[in-house]
Amino acid sequence: MDTTSSLDDSAASDSTSVSPVTPLLFHSSSSPGVPHDAESRKLPSSRFKGVVPQPNGRWGAQIYEKHQRVWLGTFNHEHQAAKAYDIAALRFRGRDAVTNFKPGAFSSVDAAFEADFLNSHSKLEIVDMLRKHTYNDELQQSKRYGGGTTTTTTTAAAAAHSLQNAASESDREVLFEKTVTPSDVGKLNRLVIPKQHAEKNFPLGEGMGSAKGVLLNFEDMGGKLWRFRYSYWNSSQSYVLTKGWSRFVKEKTLRAGDVVRFLRSTGPDKKLYIDGRAGGVKPVQVVKLFGVNILEVPVGWCGKRDREGLSELERTKKQRIIKAL
């Protein structure tokens, strides 16, 4: 596997935050990426709960879970780190959590929606969003299409979007389809895009050959936004979708042999779409001869002992027929 795959899993916008693939809980009291001698220097304390200053002038956010620290990422501004702590606190400790900023009344639609959004995701997923700085985007996307809540209003909105989505199928063109392999849905967290399709349909901008690559946005058939990192691996000379792919595989329950379809809007916006569906592999037909599945008979099944076994099966079959008569 290309060494850049480990970089794809880390937060691009947060060079000092901990990679999402690392364990959620940390036993060490030192900040990730901060040398001991640098940390020992006196730093001004923060006025916000769960916020710690960093030697580089940025601000880290953390929360404790069962006496173990969970690192929430590093932020440019102090209030951003404080807000990240508040979000984690509401997910970890519920509505009664002590937060830096006064939460909105949960009787309001927006606050109730965010509370339901938090509860619909695991703690690890929320921490991952905070580290990658994608929480607000995920929340707005879910609010836009009525995801993450069970109220009648948002359910109706989701149904309306489904109807709109079906009506707009004619406004999309299929770019290509890819039958996923076991490695595509394995632990490598990457989907290999065939070269001819990659060069024809996806952008070849600057940064493609670097570890970071470029970010591509796709919308699935339910209206949910997905972000994948699109890169070119020089070592294997292949085009791949990495960061974010494993989450798509998990949510869509993709298996080897399933088909991933890529589409594009025919309008001026040229929006990209992605659709994962079962590959439609037909079950193996079972053919039995005298009670034996002949498709499972090993090659070279013609020895003396095998012939004797088949003769015994034939005699047993004839005896059953005679008894039945």
| pLDDT per residue as tens digits for the range 32-70 | 555 545 444 567 788 999 999 999 999 999 999 989 999
The arrangement of secondary structure in 172-277, i.e. its CATH architecture, is Beta Barrel (2.40)
- Letter string b/e over residues 62-96, b meaning 16 or more CB atoms within 10 A of that residue's CB: bbeeeeebbbbbbbeebebbbbbbbbbbbbbeeee
Say which range, 164-178, 184-198, 284-298, has the weakest mean pLDDT. Answer: 284-298
Give the pLDDT confidence score for residue 8 in this predicted structure.
44
| Local structure of 155: helix, strand or coil | helix
pTM (two decimals): 0.44
Q: Domain segments of the chain: what residues?
A: 51-141, 172-277
What's the rounded mean pLDDT across residues 276-295? 57
Q: Does the structure show a pLDDT above 50 at 4?
A: no
Domain 51-141: state its class.
alpha beta
Strands in the chain per DSSP E: 51-53, 59-65, 68-75, 172-179, 191-193, 214-219, 225-233, 238-241, 259-265, 272-277, 288-289, 292-293
DSSP string for 40-96: HS--PPPSSTTEEE-TTS-EEEEEEETTEEEEEEEESSHHHHHHHHHHHHHHHH-TT
Residue 115: closest CA among 134, 95, 135 = 95
Give the pLDDT confidence score for residue 244 in this predicted structure.
87
Q: Which residue has the higher pLDDT, 226 or 320?
A: 226
Tokens 């690392």 appear where? 22
- According to DSSP H, which parts of 145-244 are helical? 152-167, 195-201
Mean confidence (pLDDT) of the chain:
73
